[in-house]
A = this chain, B = another copy of it.
Amino acid sequence: MPGLIECVPNFSEGRREEVVDEIVRAVASIDGVTVLDHTSDVTHNRSVITFAGSAQPVVRAATAAVGRALELIDMEQHTGAHPRIGAVDVIPFVPLGTTRIEECVDLARRFGEQIAARFDLPVYLYGEAALRPERRRLAAVRRGQYEAIRDEIATEAHRAPDFGPARVHPRGGAVAVGARKPLIAFNINLRTDDLGLAIKIANAIRESSGGMPAVQAMGILLENPGMPRMAQVSTNLVDWERTGIAAVVNEVRRLAREAGTDIDHCELIGLAPTGALLEVTANALRLADFSADQALELRLARDR
């Protein structure tokens, strides 16, 4: 698996199943690409497809998906709860395995330039691929959404796209193309129903309130029928090489014990990089000189 890359495009369609299916089919039809997941949200009227492969097939699949979405989705007809700027709203490229983020930055920029030319579509680069520092945060690119970009792109300098025309695509609007590290969605369930404690711990660990780098967190109360109520620290680890699962769990355990309770169990939501999981192994066993290369299937995947 040389240069394995994940792509997670978000589309402004979550209600017409047949449209989503068509776009998924366009991705899956490309040789060398694996569709890992796709989910649709009716309230948001939005879908997310997760697929992976090496650079060339991934670019080919993303291009096919954009083409199909521009045919099938009309932004002038779109409503939904989630902020969006186009039929294909956002296309992040994510490094997997031994791929470096720099490769995804390069890929995002080349891909952005290509689709801008091919589909006559304004492209904004965001995340690690941003060319303007103020566009690193996706929320900044999306401010005012499709409607504001449509109305201001020709006249407001700060709306000028990085590639493509200074007018929105007649049906598809605009698109944000970027690169980011893989995200781990990880929940820690406490042996208590004290929501206040979960919120307090979330505040203590999250970067935005001065906690651990690259950690997002919030406290919530799980109320499932037939189950005891349980306070949860729900986290996103946006750069596990800076702050990994083990570090977060150790800190949450320490804070929970300080408050006289403990972690009950944890949940990993969706997929996570194998390296991030093996780091927990190495930490738990205090493994000397451990390398993820010692995991047989990973080593093989790398060498093939």
Binding site for B on A (CB under 8 A): 1, 4, 6, 34, 36, 52, 96-97, 182, 189, 245-246, 249, 263-268, 270-274, 277-278, 280-281, 283-290, 294-301, 303-304
Contacts and interface: CB of A to CB of B under 8 A. Distances in A.
A272 B299 CA distance: 10
Given A245-B285, A278-B278, A280-B284, A299 B36 contact: yes
Given A265-B288, A280-B281, A281-B278, A297 B296 contact: no
Given A296-B182, A296-B271, A263 B286 contact: yes
B271 A295 contact: yes
Nearest to A266: B285
- Copies of this chain per assembly: 2
A277 B295 CA distance: 7
Contacts of A277: 278, 281, 294-295
Contacts of A246: 284
A284 B282 CA distance: 11
Given A34-B303, A34-B304, A284-B284, A272 B296 contact: yes
B274 A287 contact: no
Greatest chain B CB density within 10 A among A246, A287, A297 is at A297
Nearest to A37: B299
Given A268-B287, A274-B295, A280-B280, 18 more contacts: A1-B297, A4-B297, A4-B300, A36-B296, A36-B303, A96-B296, A246-B284, A264-B286, A267-B287, A272-B296, A273-B296, A274-B274, A274-B296, A278-B281, A281-B281, A284-B284, A297-B297, A300-B301
